[in-house]
Structure 1
Amino acid sequence: MNTFKKLSLALCVSALLIPASTQAQSMQTQNIGPSKGDREFSLSGTGTSDKDFDNSSFGISADLGWYLTDRTVAGVRQSVSYADIQGEDLSDDFWNGSTRGYIDYHFGSRAARPFVGASLGAIYGNGVEETGTAGLEAGLKYYVLPSTYILGRAEYQFLFDSGSSANDNFDDGAWAYVFGIGFNF
Structure 2
Amino acid sequence: MKMLKKAPLAILLGATLLPAYAMAHAHMGGHSAIGPSEGDREFSLSGTGSSSKDFDNSSFGISGDYGWYLSDRTLAGIRQSISYADVEGEDIGDDFWNGSTRLFADYHFGHNAARPFVGASLGGIYGDGVKDTGIAGLEAGLKYYLLPTTFIQARAEYQFLFDSGDSAEDNFDDGAWAYTFGMGLNF
TM-score by length of 2: 0.77
Residue type of the alignment partner of 1:59: G
Aligned-pair distance for 1:64?
A: 0.1
Structure 1: segments with no counterpart, 5+ residues: 1-15, 49-54
Largest Rg, 1 or 2: 1
Alignment-derived partner of residue 11 in structure 1? none
Give the number of equivalent residue pairs.
160
Identity %: 75
Structure 2: segments with no counterpart, 5+ residues: 1-13, 51-56
Alignment-derived partner of residue 125 in structure 1? 127
Alignment-derived partner of residue 12 in structure 1? none
Q: Does the CA contact (< 8 Å) of 1:47 and 1:176 recur in 2?
A: no
Per-residue Cα deviation, 1:52-108 (whole angstroms, up to 9, x for no partner): xxx984210000000000000000000000135585667432100000000000000
Select which of 143, 147, 150 maps to 1:148. Answer: 150
Q: Which has the higher contact order (CA 8 A, sep 6+)?
A: 1
Alignment-derived partner of residue 107 in structure 2? 105
The alignment yields a C-alpha RMSD, in angstroms, of 2.8
Residue type of the alignment partner of 1:45: G
TM-score by length of 1: 0.77
Runs (4+) of structure 1 moved beyond 3 Å? 84-92
Distance 1:64 1:74 in 2: 8
Distance 2:88 2:134 in 1: 24
- SS of the equivalent of 1:182 reads strand
Alignment-derived partner of residue 134 in structure 1? 136
Distance 1:92 1:33 in 2: 43
